[in-house]
A and B are shown apart, each in its own frame.
Chain A
């Protein structure tokens, strides 16, 4: 499904400065983002929707929107109260002398994929376990969908995939999902239907008779994901969701998660695979020694550099120092790294290039990667303990 693969990229593109460079077809896909937000009207009437209003299928989309608007009006009393799906205030957790969390405050909006990063022992799992109500915080408050964490009502709305989970080996896939569905309170038919659907979606169809004992690591991971999605939770907490899964499987899982987000599900992802986090997450937070070191959208966190990569058709450059900036070889074939003298200098640079009779073949703003930021943060204070 190539549509979905570029979805996250398109979304990120629209939100960042490069929005103008996003081709119209990409922008059109963002309409999904419009229809997924039903809880609060502010999410629906985003600029991305209007970008798309000339589309041939626009009428149907407007109809969909009206419908979903009506639904949100119906459940307005319930839903508008929930500004944030997750709301954490000054959360602390101490294990004896050890301070696992030292005053974390965090708000996460609905239908967000939220990446939680940090080194081993930074407090990621502790934070998630508090949000799931498995651990009691030492101080501070945490709410899930407006309910205090740990309450049975709050737990009804969450799905969880723990790290290093061990599914009982005597089960087959369907029997395990049936048991967990029962504990979740799903009626039998709903359990069966949903289990078959998820096993199919996660590529486990046809292995219904196999006991988990005989599963590969990737299969266990898929089944683990299936159990977390079984009851259609509003909030998903996933600890290393693609651990041990092959690249094709990873893509399947990413697509599945994005589809869940499109349904309005908020997803917490705990992962060390930074590339994947970058691809998937709308917002990230970096935990360090029990403190939030950084929170923001991926572009915000990564930040833009003031350098551009440029490439020209035409004669070789002889003069490397222009009026608008300085060009140095980038190391990549035929591309130059441009350092502008002023922030709005890109227009000056384009004019200068035209003046010199050069045809622009490539122009791209250079950006940092999550990995760079992460390593910078990690270096700053040494490994957290």
Chain B
């Protein structure tokens, strides 16, 4: 009943730390977050997406002979950068080391076994060496190198027995009898059929596509692609309302009167929103990893990298949203500006990709490939020996548009780099090759620049928002 007791109580208990304020704002934002109906729609959409993905069937097709051939080719040619999913001999041209290896006989062990990614094979391998240029190989060397490709190991040799006759050796022709087991990375390249809803919707050609490529596409679709885009878009919509709701007249006064610096209101709200989206993203990515793992048995964790990169990307979008929210006090404006900013980044990033691709084309164009002995023996040079020259429109990266794009791109956060970090990792993990892989491995993309520039932009928008909010009369 006495006043001093009350005030003493207050003195002792009211020790406001930023942590307690943050917990309060976290709770407030959590309730605001749960209150958004669109969030539940989003979660329903993602659940449906994953249900569809789980209905998929992945079945191995035949392909043993093809991958044995590939392994044989890899013995004699440098396979770096070659898209193994496309069976084209032209790719190997110019990469040979003066020898040619091939499989002359292959049958499963036991002979009745089905042709699948787990089958052991009995193989006859022959290797012909061009005199002077090439050299004979030893059995040990063959056992070590057979099945080795740049992205992994297709086959491991269990037994090897050389059957080369002395006369054949004299003309540079060697043969071996091998018994080979599937290597650790064979499944990734093995052709699988991929169909949704049981068998009703075929998504691959009848002969199937490499399993790694399928997982790559599925993971990109679920996490980085459709899933991530839906989730981030909805997160932008939901979180765009946070700051404008907080600083509208009648609500703002109730917050400004509290004993904490104004900038903390903004920063704490920002971090709270970021935490919720991080949790959602984490769920999405974990679910992606589980679904693809369960479907295919490939548990490569590269996709988990998408959490930090997508979150960093969202952190930047959120800072734009908070900044616009503080300046305009309108949720709709914050939302539209953020989505527009995203669109600009997307378009500029896409065009930058074109510029890089064009530059790579120019670098490789009109350069003859290394001449092999086979080339030298041919009566006249083949036109196909040269890389495809520039496209009919000319080189994109020399046009004015491309220069403008590059200028804009130079000051924007390089979110494409963030995407590239994941793509590169996934492509390495799943041995996906081809032109995109070549682009991704380009030195034009560095994770340090992508992360650094994005962080700088995020901090700039956030600090600007705090400064404006602290200085302005309510």
Contacts and interface: CB of A to CB of B under 8 A. Distances in A.
Q: Are A and B physically bound partners?
A: yes
Given A156-B259, A182-B27, A168 B251 contact: yes
Given A38-B4, A71-B2, A165-B251, A180 B474 contact: no
A162 B252 CA distance: 10
A158 B257 contact: yes
Contact of B4 (A74, A134, A156, A159): A74
A226 to B, nearest CB: 12
A162 B10 CA distance: 23
A179 B32 contact: no
Interface residues of B, number: 41
A182 B21 contact: yes
Given A134-B474, A185-B21, A264-B3, A170 B32 contact: yes
Contacts, number: 128
Contact of B259 (A36, A72, A175, A184): A184
Interface in B29-44: 31-32, 34-35
Contacts of B13: 186-187, 190
A156 B24 contact: no
Nearest to A159: B257
Contact of A132 (B3, B5, B256): B256
Nearest to B474: A134
A326 interface: no
B297 interface: no
Contact of A162 (B25, B32, B250, B259): B250
A184 B16 contact: yes
A153 B259 CA distance: 7
A301 to B, nearest CB: 28
Given A67-B2, A170-B35, A179 B259 contact: no
Contacts of B249: 164, 166
A185 B250 contact: no
Interface in B10-29: 10, 13-17, 20-21, 23-25, 27-28
- Residue of A153, A164, A183 contacting most chain B CB atoms (<10 Å): A183
Given A71-B2, A152-B259, A231-B14, A129 B474 contact: yes
Contacts of B253: 129, 132, 134, 160, 162, 165
A92 interface: no
Contacts of B34: 170
B2 A180 contact: no
A134 B250 contact: no
A152 B28 contact: no
Contact of A175 (B14, B31, B473): B31
A231 B35 CA distance: 27
Contact of A227 (B6, B10, B254, B474): B254
Given A134-B474, A156-B14, A180 B254 contact: yes
Nearest to A132: B257
B411 to A, nearest CB: 35
A167 B27 CA distance: 15
Nearest to B2: A68
Contacts of B17: 185
- Residue of A132, A135, A153, A162 contacting most chain B CB atoms (<10 Å): A162
A158 B259 CA distance: 9
Contacts of A136: 473
Contacts of B257: 132, 134, 155, 158-160
B456 to A, nearest CB: 31
Contacts of A158: 257
A135 B32 contact: no
B34 to A, nearest CB: 8
A181 B24 contact: yes
Interface in B197-231: none
Interface in A163-218: 164-168, 170-171, 175, 178-187, 190
B171 interface: no
A232 interface: yes
A179 B16 CA distance: 13
Contacts of A71: 2-5
A153 B260 CA distance: 9
B261 interface: yes
22 contacts: A38-B2, A64-B1, A68-B3, A72-B4, A134-B256, A155-B258, A155-B259, A156-B259, A160-B253, A165-B253, A166-B249, A167-B254, A175-B27, A182-B23, A182-B25, A183-B20, A183-B25, A183-B258, A184-B259, A231-B10, A263-B3, A264-B7
Give the top 8 A-B pairs by smallest Cβ distance, nearest first. Answer: A185-B16, A182-B24, A166-B250, A71-B4, A170-B35, A156-B259, A162-B253, A183-B258
Given A132-B253, A165-B254, A183-B16, 8 more contacts: A71-B4, A75-B4, A134-B474, A160-B257, A165-B250, A170-B34, A181-B24, A183-B21
